[in-house]
Amino acid sequence: MGGTSSTPLAPLAGRSVGDMDHRSDNRADIRDFLARRRAQLTPEQVGLPAGGRRRVPGLRREEVAVLAGVSTEWYTRLEKGHIGGVSEDVLDAVARTLQLTEDERTYLFDLAKAARPGPATRRRRKPVEIPPRVQWLLDSITLSAAFVTNGRLDMVATNALARALFAPMIDSAVTCERGRPNFARYYFLERGSHEFVDDWDTGAKITVALLRAEAGRYPNDRALRELVGELSTVSDEFRTRWAAHDVRIHHGGVKRFHHPEAGFLELTYQPLDLPVSVHEAHSLTIYTAEPGTAYEERLKLLASWAATGLEAANPALDGDG
């Protein structure tokens, strides 16, 4: 993922890479996340009387503290980002009180883990080479679009149908400039994404939420920080969505595309964890169409075009050659 070390990084952690200490200083992320979740709850949702008029929306800190079984002073310190030494039982109590989703709970625990003193470094994680066996697996899938992404949403390996399906992204100007397809850059830096993706708003929301979860797991990943800094600087839309602190880890469902060759497609998709390396998380995502639908026929047609193009590019694949 692109960007430079001089790109402003305030939207991610409130300080530049050079200002960070030997471990992740993610207090700003913790503060923003907990404060936003507290503001989204009403007294009625947690079984408290509404009381009088409130100056700000949501629960008060002292109300969260009582419900979580801790002192107000302690919870106030926690919400200011001092989370490194907090026990799992207390984090669980806070998560229950704030009615966090499973993904949000995981994110909170990731933030706590990253805040603990340790020998974490800020070095750039080297790109992981995808083993040939993974490419063989992708190539064996012919009627579904299959591809591999890393946690920064770079598309690092594809099968022929995925290349055909996501050609608008792979061939886009932003991809040509950066050299590798990246879903976040495509959504927020390429106007054509609005025409290709049918429900752009939902796709953009999921994209940012996935990056936010990755930032919780790997706050010292410089390439990730640079990507977020770049997008926050260039795109007001991304900056606003990043500040919402939405988190997404487990996802899958239905997406719709307006493909320039295949037409309108409604496809189901499912990401699967792919344990390629201990140094970086990867996902294998498969897009397919419901059997017996017009979308299946269009996807088969796109697969046929993809295979024809592959044979044209590699004559040895055609016939006995």
Residue-wise pLDDT tens digits, 261-279: 999 999 999 999 998 877 7
- The structural domains of the chain, with segments of one domain joined by +, span 21-115, 132-317
Distances (CA, A) of 280 to 74, 227, 300: 35, 16, 33
SS3 240: helix
Q: What is the mean pLDDT of residues 112-138?
A: 75
CB atoms within 10 A of CB 254: 11
| Secondary structure of 29-69 as H, E, C letters | HHHHHHHHHHHCCCHHHHCCCCCCCCCCCCCCHHHHHHHHC
Q: What is the mean pLDDT of residues 57-65?
A: 89
Higher pLDDT, 317 or 173: 173
pLDDT for the residue 252: 87
pLDDT for the residue 196: 98
Residue 14: pLDDT over 70: no
Q: What is the mean pLDDT of residues 14-41?
A: 68
Q: What is the CATH number of domain 21-115?
A: 1.10.260.40
pLDDT for the residue 3: 36
Q: Name the pLDDT band for 127 (thresholds 50, 70, 90).
A: low
Compute the 3-state secondary structure of the chain and give helix, strand, coil in percent, each to the nearest 5: 50, 10, 40
Distances (CA, A) of 148 to 139, 155, 287, 290: 12, 6, 12, 22
Tokens of 256: 């719709």
Q: Residue 302: how many CA atoms within 13 Å on its side-chain side?
A: 29
Q: How far apart are CA 212 and CA 245, in angstroms?
A: 7
Residue 64: pLDDT over 50: yes
Higher pLDDT, 68 or 18: 68
Q: What is the mean pLDDT of residues 24-30?
A: 77
Tokens of 202: 């939902």
The predicted model scores a pTM of: 0.81
What is the DSSP code string of 55-123?
Answer: SSSS--HHHHHHHHTS-HHHHHHHHTT--TT--HHHHHHHHHHTT--HHHHHHHHHHHHHHS-S----P
Q: What is the CATH number of domain 132-317?
A: 3.30.450.180
Tokens of 152: 């920064």
Q: How far apart are CA 66 and CA 188, in angstroms?
A: 41
- Terminal-to-terminal C-alpha distance of the chain: 39
Q: How far apart are CA 122 and CA 25, in angstroms?
A: 11
Distances (CA, A) of 75 to 30, 213, 242: 12, 23, 25
Q: How far apart are CA 32 and CA 210, in angstroms?
A: 17
Residue 213: pLDDT over 80: yes
43 with 59: CB under 8 angstroms? Answer: yes
Mention every residue, 6+ apart, whose C-beta is less than 8 A from residue 189: 174, 231, 234, 235
Q: Name the pLDDT band for 6 (thresholds 50, 70, 90).
A: very low
| Domain 132-317 in the same topology as domain 21-115 | no
Rounded to whole angstroms, the maximal C-alpha distance in the chain is 82
Residue 90: pLDDT over 50: yes
Nearest CA among 54, 70, 68 for reference residue 100:
68
